[in-house]
Chain A
Amino acid sequence: MSEAEAFAGKVDAVSRDSHFTDDGKLAQPRDLAVPAPAQSPVESRAIFSGKLLPYVLLVPQLAISLVFFYWPAAQALWQSFLVQDAFGLSTEFVWFENYAELFTRPDYYHAVGVTFLFSGVVAFLSLSLALLLATMADRQIKAARVYRTLLIWPYAVAPAVASVLFIFMFQPGLGLFARALQASGLDWNPILNGAQALILVIIAAVWKQISYNFLFFLAGLQAIPKSVIEAAAIDGAKPWRRFWTVVFPLLSPTTFFLIVVNITYAFFDTLGIIDTATGGGPNKATETLVYKVFQDGRLGADLGGSAAQSVILMAIVITLTAIQFRYVERRVHY
């Protein structure tokens, strides 16, 4: 690894050098002249004139995208407009009936509620804890890197495995925390109690996400010029006030970015946590929208309704991605 890095670093330096000797350009023959750069940044880079080669280079990526991404997505969209009879013998095109039907079902609204509660709490808790830790680490210039190492590794733990760690500690009768809670008189049993099951998956989901948020918050905090904070201190602002009036507003691009990422995480990436810990139960108490698609599809009963649910999720992902990319445009200018 270090060898590769050193090498890349060297090449990096070379390329930077050539950048600086811009005016001392190599004399170039006329026939090799690069086409005039157009407005789009992509346009200006087009340099080679292969006819077939670019398509050959694109084929693997496009083929996999079309076969495993577009085709299934199109099928989900198509199926969401169809109703199949009980024996799967005939199908009928019903426009938006599946969607209309979905929004009459109490269990769908229940999943919507669970999803919002779960995502909101997970995002809020993991962001707050990470911000607290990052603020503390930011003050320790020397030790910040050590703390970073000690705090970021849970990023590498699979959600399902994180879930297992918490199941063990909260398993009624044998887990350390479960026994402590039971000893304190609480009837702790996430296998039967829906609210407790939800708390369990929230804890596991928050634990897993703190490291990611910490890393980005710390990077954001370290990018804030110290002179701004000193100026506020000279004006007599105490640390608490400085944080909320100077640091926190300057951190808002990072915070906003992380909110979107955390909601995406809570919506989609926590399926492994939920499936391992509760299987959506008890009595659908931990059934999020994504888990519901997974579960309903597995039972295989209502193809159209299940497809309609997938399409709604697709719309959610598209919205979240669009927000994220619009924001990134802003961050570039920032």
Chain B
Amino acid sequence: MVEHRRFGNFLPHLVLLIGVAIVAFPVYMAVIASTHDNAVIANGQMPLTPGTLGFENYWHTLTAGTGRTTRAPVGGMMLNSFVMAVGIALGKIAISIISAYAIVFFSFPFRMTAFWIIFVTLMLPVEVRIYPTYKIASDLHLLDSYAGLTLPLIASATATLLFRQFFMTVPKELVEASKIDGAGPLRFFKDTLLPLSLTNIAALFVILFIYGWNQYLWPLLITTRDDMQTIVIGIKKIIDVHDALTEWNVAMATAVLAMLPPVLVVITMQRLFVKGLIETEK
């Protein structure tokens, strides 16, 4: 603040609190709905305070799901989401870090070609090559498998670019020193570069976990069986906007469960999250 104001910081705080309220309100409503009986919600009589059926609703959602549109229990969907998110995050980090290592620390024919091949994938998101990609995945028998959920998504130009940028700041002296110590390229990678990259890896993991957990289009295409679907696509089948018989309490409990892991990751690892977000956008 440059000058003193008569009302102090009242206005900024007011605006920010309204902002926080707007952002939080939809989630509050979902939490409330997940603790009530569906009949109360369906006839529009849901109060704005929590009900008493919270435990029951969540237990039912996790272990049974809805009895109607999709029969898979949400607990299983969460497991699928978790496997997919961790698989995508670890897979992307693993293949990106080694390809960035090759590009930065080695000299070989077609190095720049390899770099550009990776770079251009940035311009080919799933959305623009939906069905041909689906066809390849199905030809490779990847439908309804964890490999199918993760493998086609783990090529990552962003992560490779991030590691490349970071590796280029590693001082040359460090490489020379480990060469003097008799370390070959693999030893240098394992003993020097990997420990140096830990913060970057952790930040990237946070971002990629969220990215993987929140995938929509690809799991929708690649899974046909109810027991293979992820929670983000499962929720769509639980609510049916045209159907008056949607079990809203189960749907909202599912929404809360779908938000919980990635939101917790953001809040508990905020510093890494912010770092990852800003670095990957460079």
A140 & B236 in contact (Cβ 8 Å cutoff): no
Residues of A within 8 A of B176 (CB): 26, 28, 32, 34
**Known A-B contacts A62-B114, A164-B235; A42 and B104 likewise in contact (beta carbons under 8 Å):** yes
B129 & A69 in contact (Cβ 8 Å cutoff): yes
In which size bucket is the chain B interface? Answer: 35 or more
Contact residue among A9, A129, A271, A306 (Cβ-Cβ distance under 8 Å from B127): A271
A99 within 8 A of B: no
Residues of B within 8 A of A155 (CB): 210, 266, 277
**Known A-B contacts A46-B107, A48-B105, A61-B95; A158 and B213 likewise in contact (beta carbons under 8 Å):** yes
Contact residue among B115, B137, B171, B174 (Cβ-Cβ distance under 8 Å from A42): B115
Residues of B within 8 A of A34 (CB): 172, 175-176
Within 8 A of B (CB), among A38-71: 41-43, 45-51, 53-55, 57-58, 60-62, 64-71
Contact residue among B15, B26, B104, B160 (Cβ-Cβ distance under 8 Å from A165): B26
A161 & B118 in contact (Cβ 8 Å cutoff): no
B64 within 8 A of A: no
With most chain A CB atoms within 10 A of its CB, the pick from B96, B107, B164, B220 is B107
B42 & A174 in contact (Cβ 8 Å cutoff): yes
Residues of B within 8 A of A47 (CB): 105-107, 172, 175
Instruction: Please give the distance in Å from B277's CB to the nearest CB on chain A.
Output: 7
Instruction: Please give the distance in Å from A313's CB to the nearest CB on chain B.
Output: 4
0/1 interface trace, chain B 81-123, chain A, CB 8 Å (1 if under): 0000000000000111011011111111001101101100111
Contact residue among A69, A230, A276 (Cβ-Cβ distance under 8 Å from B236): A276
Instruction: Please give the distance in Å from B77's CB to the nearest CB on chain A.
Output: 12
**Known A-B contacts A69-B155, A161-B259; A156 and B131 likewise in contact (beta carbons under 8 Å):** no
Residues of B within 8 A of A79 (CB): 132
Within 8 A of A (CB), among B31-71: 33, 41-44, 46, 48
B155 & A61 in contact (Cβ 8 Å cutoff): yes
B216 & A48 in contact (Cβ 8 Å cutoff): no
A314 & B259 in contact (Cβ 8 Å cutoff): no
A160 within 8 A of B: yes
B136 within 8 A of A: yes
B26 & A62 in contact (Cβ 8 Å cutoff): no
**Known A-B contacts A35-B107, A313-B127, A313-B128; A174 and B95 likewise in contact (beta carbons under 8 Å):** no
Residue of A nearest to B235 (CB): A164
Contact residue among A19, A58, A167, A173 (Cβ-Cβ distance under 8 Å from B114): A58
A12 within 8 A of B: yes
A139 & B1 in contact (Cβ 8 Å cutoff): yes
Instruction: Please give the distance in Å from B89's CB to the nearest CB on chain A.
Output: 14
B242 within 8 A of A: yes
In whole angstroms, how far apart are the Cα atoms of A28 and B24 in the complex?
Answer: 60
In whole angstroms, how far apart are the Cα atoms of A147 and B125 in the complex?
Answer: 33
Residues of A within 8 A of B108 (CB): 50-51, 54-55
In whole angstroms, how far apart are the Cα atoms of A110 and B192 in the complex?
Answer: 56
Residues of B within 8 A of A294 (CB): 127, 130, 217
Residue of A nearest to B104 (CB): A45
B79 within 8 A of A: no
B13 & A160 in contact (Cβ 8 Å cutoff): no
Contact residue among B27, B132, B171, B239 (Cβ-Cβ distance under 8 Å from A18): B171
In whole angstroms, how far apart are the Cα atoms of A9 and B272 in the complex?
Answer: 13
A297 within 8 A of B: yes
0/1 interface trace, chain A 112-129, chain B, CB 8 Å (1 if under): 000000000000000001
**Known A-B contacts A1-B202, A67-B136, A159-B214; A165 and B16 likewise in contact (beta carbons under 8 Å):** no
In whole angstroms, how far apart are the Cα atoms of A13 and B144 in the complex?
Answer: 47
A168 & B251 in contact (Cβ 8 Å cutoff): yes
Residues of A within 8 A of B125 (CB): 268, 317
B95 & A160 in contact (Cβ 8 Å cutoff): no
Residues of A within 8 A of B216 (CB): 158-160, 271-272, 275
B245 within 8 A of A: no
In whole angstroms, how far apart are the Cα atoms of A69 and B132 in the complex?
Answer: 10
Within 8 A of B (CB), among A240-282: 242, 257, 261, 268, 271-272, 275-278
Residues of B within 8 A of A276 (CB): 235-236, 239
In whole angstroms, how far apart are the Cα atoms of A138 and B271 in the complex?
Answer: 18
Instruction: Please give the distance in Å from A118's CB to the nearest CB on chain B.
Output: 15
**Known A-B contacts A18-B174, A60-B95, A151-B19; A8 and B105 likewise in contact (beta carbons under 8 Å):** no
Residue of B nearest to A276 (CB): B236
In whole angstroms, how far apart are the Cα atoms of A257 and B26 in the complex?
Answer: 28
Residues of B within 8 A of A239 (CB): 2
In whole angstroms, how far apart are the Cα atoms of A11 and B124 in the complex?
Answer: 36
Residue of B nearest to A310 (CB): B128
Residue of B nearest to A176 (CB): B29
B232 & A160 in contact (Cβ 8 Å cutoff): yes
* Leading 8 A-B pairs by shortest Cβ distance: A46-B107, A72-B132, A272-B216, A158-B214, A156-B262, A57-B102, A54-B106, A165-B26
Interface residues in chain A, defined as those with a beta carbon under 8 Å from any beta carbon in chain B = 1, 4-5, 7-9, 11-12, 15, 18-19, 22, 25-26, 28-29, 32, 34-35, 41-43, 45-51, 53-55, 57-58, 60-62, 64-73, 75-76, 79, 129, 132-133, 136-137, 139-140, 143, 147-162, 164-169, 171, 173-176, 179, 191, 207, 210-212, 215-216, 219, 229-230, 233, 239, 242, 257, 261, 268, 271-272, 275-278, 290, 293-294, 297, 306, 310-311, 313-314, 317-318, 321, 328
Write 5 A-B pairs (CB below 8 A) sorted by A numbering.
A136-B11, A161-B259, A164-B236, A174-B43, A310-B129
A60-B94, A69-B129, A293-B127 known; 5 new pairs, CB 8 Å cut-off, are A58-B114, A65-B117, A68-B137, A290-B127, A313-B127
